[in-house]
Amino acid sequence: MSMSLDGFIADPDGDSRSLYPDLGNLRNSEALAEMIEDTGAVVMGRRSYDMGDTDEGYVDYEHQVPIFVLTHRVPEVPAKHDAARGLSFTFVTDGVESAVEQAKAAAGQKDVQVIGGASAAQQLIRAGLLDQIQISLMPVLLGEGLRLFEHIGSSSRRLEEIKVIDSPGRTDIRYRVA
Amino acid sequence: MSMSLDGFIADPDGDSRSLYPDLGNLRNSEALAEMIEDTGAVVMGRRSYDMGDTDEGYVDYEHQVPIFVLTHRVPEVPAKHDAARGLSFTFVTDGVESAVEQAKAAAGQKDVQVIGGASAAQQLIRAGLLDQIQISLMPVLLGEGLRLFEHIGSSSRRLEEIKVIDSPGRTDIRYRVA
């Protein structure tokens, strides 16, 4: 996930564009390309799903793999451009463990990636279901917005740095959760 | 400043040791050595001053340069081991601008470094007095504690990455404040 130096993944309106001075730059990154290659399924929060579902389709969405959306209610109307973009959504209403289990089965030998939002990531951290955390630390202080790391419980969790990539305009760091 | 991945510089008791699995490792870092070499004066918050003033003297304190302590009141009793360690403290009661001005005069051609705590750093960010921010991002999620980046206002501030050092056990990143 992309996060500002002060810990936000979006501004108070839920918009993450303020993190990126140059979106084209992000799209071409080494870390992103590697992650897409390794990803066999995606877990996504409902708010991220709704935000992605614009009239122009799933903007900036690069994963052509099964996507499992955490939600309390299955939407009555399907996303506007699913079929055209080849995206496959499954709505999971029985909790984060179930979503991860289904995503793992779909991913086979590949990784399950969690793509937004803060709430989904926080649920997964609390449940101890994350093996790795990859952060693109963006060189900006937003001052306010949606924090990635809060509501994750008060116990300390040791991480292990696996990889640091000093990409132009940001720092990508991958951690193993101990 | 050292900060956990979730943005804390100390646990809820103000203790920053939980950030470091291995203090010795920190002491020998390239980034730290370079920073000490470049530092001509220090600005420090009152709480950091008080926390450093233990019976064993200024523990883990490496800067033998003039130190300007931001405070509302000058302490009646001097720090226990000032003289023995060669440390020079000046208490500044007329605000952060004054502290920075005095520190710059003392530093000459060298840098003024802000060493803790969160409150001092936040005041300096709000006042637009920081030229650079250096963060040692520690591989740990504390879950709760003292946040470095809050109360810094709601306007977005663009940073520019100057340098990333992938040190053992953490990532040091230096930013220029745009």
B1 touching A (Cβ < 8 Å): no
pLDDT per residue over B126-173, tens digit each? 999 999 999 999 999 999 999 999 999 888 999 999 999 888 888 999
Structure tokens at A74: 């299955």
Q: Tell me the CATH number at B92.
A: 3.40.430.10
- Average pLDDT on B43-59 reads 75
How far away is chain B from the Cα of A145, in angstroms, using its nearest Cα? 9
Mean pLDDT for chain A?
86
B68 touching A (Cβ < 8 Å): no
Chain A, window 90-129: residues with a beta carbon less than 8 angstroms from a chain B beta carbon: 125
B33, B166 contact by CB (below 8 A): no
In chain B, residues with a C-beta closer than 8 Å to the C-beta of A135 are 5
pLDDT per residue over A45-65, tens digit each? 998 888 777 665 554 456 688
In chain A, residues with a C-beta closer than 8 Å to the C-beta of B172 are none
- In the A/B pair of chains, how many CB contacts fall below 8 A? 97
Share of chain A above pLDDT 90, in %: 57
Q: Do A160 and B139 touch (CB under 8 A)?
A: yes
A24, A48 contact by CB (below 8 A): no
User: What residue numbers bound the domain in which A41 lies?
Assistant: 2-177
In chain A, residues with a C-beta closer than 8 Å to the C-beta of B143 are 152-157
Residue B121 has pLDDT above 90, yes or no: yes
Nearest to B92 by CA among B109, B108, B106: B106
Q: Quick check: ipTM above 0.85? A: yes
pLDDT per residue over A78-93, tens digit each? 766 555 566 788 999 9
In chain B, residues with a C-beta closer than 8 Å to the C-beta of A18 are 156
pTM confidence score: 0.88
Q: How many domains in chain A?
A: 1
A42, B170 contact by CB (below 8 A): no
Residue B25 has pLDDT above 60, yes or no: no
Reduce the secondary structure of A111-172 to three states and give it as a string.
EEEECCCHHHHHHHHHCCCCCEEEEEEECEECCCCEECCCCCCCCCEEEEEEEEECCCCCEE
Q: pLDDT below 70 — which residues of chain A? A: 22-29, 31, 54-63, 79-86
Contacts 24+ apart (CB under 8 A), A19-25: A19/A138, A19/A140, A19/A142, A20/A138, A21/A140, A21/A169, A21/B158, A22/A169, A23/A60, A25/A168, A25/A169
* Test the A interface: residue of B19, B134, B141 with most A CBs within 10 Å: B141
Q: Do B6 and A5 touch (CB under 8 A)?
A: no
Chain A, window 20-49: residues with a beta carbon less than 8 angstroms from a chain B beta carbon: 21
Q: Do A157 and B169 touch (CB under 8 A)?
A: no
Residue B51 has pLDDT above 90, yes or no: no
